[in-house]
Amino acid sequence: MGKVNTKVTLCGIELDNPVVPASGTFGYGYEFAELYDINCLGTFSFKGTTKDPRFGNPTPRIAECTAGMINAVGLQNPGVDKVISEELPRLAKCFHKPVMANVSGFSVEDYAYTCEKLDKEAQVGWLEVNVSCPNVHGGGMSFGTSPEAAAEVTKAVKKVTTKPVIIKLSPNVTDIVSIAKACEEAGADGISLINTMLGMRIDLRTRKPVIANKMGGFSGSAIFPVAVRMVYQVAHAVKIPVVGMGGVSTAEDVIEMMLAGATAVEVGAANLVNPYACRDIVADLPRVMEKYRIESLSEFIGGVQ
């Protein structure tokens, strides 16, 4: 086999490879840039950003579990104005590709306001609109659990933006396909899934939940089969590209997600276990492609029989 081609095109923007660190696991990039050259990545999705600053949830916020973790950080971030004035200029010094801006909100107006501001930033390539945060009361997931609400957010954001809008869906629903289709009909340019599942741990000594929030987002390799199934279902139901994520930790996982129908693949919890996870996956992709006789990743998307 000759040289393999890892390039993919996501909503009209070419990526060197499909590997994308997931929002909330990679900050705004510059901490990881001290460890390695993050320009080896396809892109990354920066920390979930809201209209106003958020302190996040009370601690403890993290609980361990078999083959995964539960978190309830609660969208801690400095708010969109600070992100634009402070975080993006720092990010621009170490990352020279379009970045994915991840946006959360507590009302349709919040989403539209934050997206409109970030849309004007030169370095933002895509807006990843998170209607799926499972651990913020009254925000995020409440918009992602009904087709009507998800469509309403999609329409409002599309009205005030020019860049591709990718709606990030929650797996904590019975019918993810109907929600994805509603977003597509409302004008979404792509769908990303899955966000974390909802999990809980209880301390046997105190007989209380380990996390102050009681429940939190369950992520890690344990959820990978659920993610592959949902990506497969959604990719076969919509015509817009799908960004797959959920328990991805190896180059083989990336290729399995792409076989299921993902154009690009986000890596989340693995970054928290090994800060070099995404770099190592990118480096390993050509070997895995050669092993399975894949010459070009973009021609291979959704290739499951």
Known catalytic residues are: 133
Give me the helix-helix angle, 251-260 and 277-291, nearest 10°. 70
Distant-in-sequence, close-in-space partners of 301: CB < 8 Å, separation ≥ 6: 8, 258, 261, 262, 263
Instruction: Indicate the range of 140-149, 225-234, 263-272 predicted with least confidence.
Output: 140-149
Residue 118's closest CA among 139, 91, 142? 91
Query: What mean pLDDT, rounded, does the chain reach?
Result: 93
Is the domain 8-291 a CATH 3.40.50.300 member? no
Output the pLDDT for position 144.
77
Output the pLDDT for position 141.
54
Output the pLDDT for position 1.
57
- Alpha-helical regions (H) of 9-134: 30-33, 80-82, 88-94, 108-119
Output the pLDDT for position 276.
98
Position with higher pLDDT, 288 vs 136: 288
Residue 45 has pLDDT above 60, yes or no: yes
Instruction: Indicate the range of 86-90, 100-104, 117-121, 170-174 predicted with least confidence.
Output: 170-174
Alpha carbon 32 to its chain centroid, in Å, reads: 17
Contact by Cβ (8 Å): 95, 44: yes
Output the pLDDT for position 252.
98
Alpha carbon 219 to its chain centroid, in Å, reads: 12
Whole-structure pTM value? 0.95
Across residues 180-209, what is the average pLDDT? 96
**Length of the chain as a residue count:** 305
Phi, psi (deg, nearest 5) at residue 286: -55, -40
Instruction: Tell me how crowded residue 33 is: count the other CB atoms within 10 A of its CB.
Output: 17
Residue 216's closest CA among 125, 135, 103? 135
CA-based end-to-end distance of the chain = 23
